[in-house]
């Protein structure tokens, strides 16, 4: 080693002093971010204007037309950086204290990035107002029967996945009707992951650090396109789970005058029908039995196939994922947690004629 190069002892000293300083800076920034987050909850319309219509749109354009154009998920690039840093760091001695500081610092800055890249949406005004409509079991049954009759007529409409670009066009068309900004080119990638995402108990996930939705190609074609549209809705700033389902439903129902219209409508109706059935299972078994009696053989076979496929990937991790998601949503201010997914039913009811 030449006399101009720093010694290993000097490098270790620099590392020891840098990490605590960066951690303190991160904690200060995190504190200010949290204060701004809760201040935004008191003035959600103001937050929506400067964040959703301003800063977030800048994030979207910058990402979607750079890293978002890559044919592979940019998350793989970050994984490569971590591997490189790990092997590079082996040259230096790290104490356990320093390792813990690095981990804690990464968590702090990860939370900061999460809030600034997407989390502020949880404090801003929603896409549509939930009027807290309460539907009776009879109304739910009649609605489910109406949807089921449409499904009975076209039981074989979901034989292939709708292309991602088509789903994006439909979602953007719907969001424009609500004056919601749709700059950028949101992605929802379906991974050839051998079912890993599903075994983990996740149907799909939006990762704010990479500004993309992710799901598995192992989902049945009857539900995959709906899941991708749901995750894409998150990419446009829709934070609520029920609201993202509502956006996916309305987007798939929009007539675009092309070959995908009937299939998209069937997929939207199938998801709504499953939601209505799920509610009736818990509230009125007799109504559910009536639905089953009026289901034709083709729809019954399709639904049975989807249920069996779901059971194949059902593991103990599914319960862990549900509990984690519930805690996460509640920590973000969505008080009903994972029950928020059922809000889709009320929002669709409010927005469609009966």
Owning domain of residue 108:
8-123
Among candidate residues 91, 123, 155, the one where a domain is terminated: 123
Does 220 share its domain with 189?
yes
Same domain, residue pair 224 and 332: yes
Greatest Cα pair distance in the chain: 86
Q: Determine, yes or no, domain membership for 148.
A: yes
Q: Is residue 132 part of a domain?
A: no
Rounded Cα gap, residues 282 and 315, in angstroms: 22
- Neighbouring C-beta atoms of residue 313, cutoff 10 Å: 19
Among the candidates 98, 123, 148, a domain finishes at: 123
Q: Are residues 97 and 206 in the same domain?
A: no
| Within-domain flag for 1 | no
For the chain, give percent helix, strand, coil, nearest 5: 70, 5, 30
User: Each residue's pLDDT tens digit in the chain (354 positions)?
Assistant: 444 545 444 444 444 556 678 888 999 999 999 999 999 999 998 999 999 999 999 999 999 999 999 888 887 887 787 777 666 665 555 677 777 888 888 899 999 999 999 999 999 889 988 777 889 999 999 999 999 999 998 866 667 889 999 999 999 999 999 999 999 999 999 999 999 999 999 999 999 999 999 999 999 999 999 999 999 999 999 999 999 999 999 999 999 999 999 999 999 999 999 999 999 998 888 999 999 999 999 999 999 999 999 999 998 888 899 999 999 999 998 989 999 999 999 999 998 876
Strand (E) or helix (H) holding 207: strand 204-207
Residues 162 and 187 in one domain: yes
Same domain, yes or no: 151 and 50: no
Q: Domain for residue 129, yes or no?
A: no
pTM above 0.85, yes or no: yes
| pLDDT number for residue 1 | 46
- Count the domains in the chain: 2
Answer whether residue 48 is part of any domain.
Answer: yes
Claim to verify: residue 251 and residue 306 sit in the same structural domain: yes
Q: What is the chain's Cα-based Rg?
A: 23
Q: Are residues 219 and 295 in the same domain?
A: yes
Mark whether 325 and 187 lie in a shared domain: yes
71 and 144, same domain (yes or no): no
Phi, psi of 294 (to 5 degrees): -100, 15
User: Which stretch of DSSP H or E encloses residue 265?
Assistant: helix 261-283
**In-domain check, residue 128:** no
Answer yes or no: do 161 and 219 share one domain: yes
> Within a domain: residue 23?
yes
The answer to whether residues 182 and 211 belong to one domain is yes
| Same domain flag for 75 and 166 | no
Does 3 fall in a domain?
no
């Amino acid at each position: 080693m030449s006399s101009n190069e720093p010694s290993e002892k000097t490098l270790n000293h620099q590392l020891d002093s840098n990490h605590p300083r960066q951690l303190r800076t991160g904690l200060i920034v995190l504190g200010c971010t949290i204060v701004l987050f809760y201040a935004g909850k008191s003035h959600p319309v103001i937050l929506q204007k400067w964040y959703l219509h301003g800063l977030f749109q800048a994030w979207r354009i910058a990402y979607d037309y750079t890293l978002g154009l890559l044919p592979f998920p940019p998350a793989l690039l970050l994984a490569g950086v971590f591997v490189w840093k790990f092997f590079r760091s082996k040259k230096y001695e790290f104490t356990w204290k320093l390792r813990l500081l690095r981990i804690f610092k990464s968590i702090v800055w990860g939370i900061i990035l999460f809030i600034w890249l997407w989390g502020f949406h949880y404090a801003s005004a929603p896409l549509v107002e939930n009027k807290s409509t309460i539907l009776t079991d009879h109304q739910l049954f009649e609605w489910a029967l109406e949807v089921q009759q449409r499904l009975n007529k076209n039981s074989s409409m979901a034989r292939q996945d709708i292309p991602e670009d088509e789903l994006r066009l439909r979602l953007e068309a719907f969001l424009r009707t609500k004056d919601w900004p749709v700059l950028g080119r949101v992605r929802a990638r379906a991974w050839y992951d051998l079912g890993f995402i599903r075994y983990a108990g996740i149907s799909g996930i939006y990762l704010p650090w990479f500004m993309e939705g992710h799901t598995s190609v192992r989902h049945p074609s009857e539900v995959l396109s709906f899941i991708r549209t749901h995750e894409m809705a998150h990419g446009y700033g829709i934070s609520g789970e029920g609201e993202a389902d509502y956006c996916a439903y309305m987007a798939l129902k929009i007539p675009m005058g092309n070959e995908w219209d009937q299939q998209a409508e069937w997929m939207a109706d199938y998801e709504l029908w499953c939601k209505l059935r799920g509610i009736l299972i818990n509230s009125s078994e007799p109504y559910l039995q009536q639905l089953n009696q009026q289901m034709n053989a083709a729809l019954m076979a399709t639904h049975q196939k989807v249920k069996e496929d779901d059971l194949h990937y059902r593991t103990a991790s599914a319960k862990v994922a549900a509990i984690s998601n519930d805690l996460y949503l509640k920590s973000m201010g969505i008080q009903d947690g994972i029950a928020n997914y059922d809000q889709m039913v009320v929002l669709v009811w409010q927005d469609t004629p009966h």
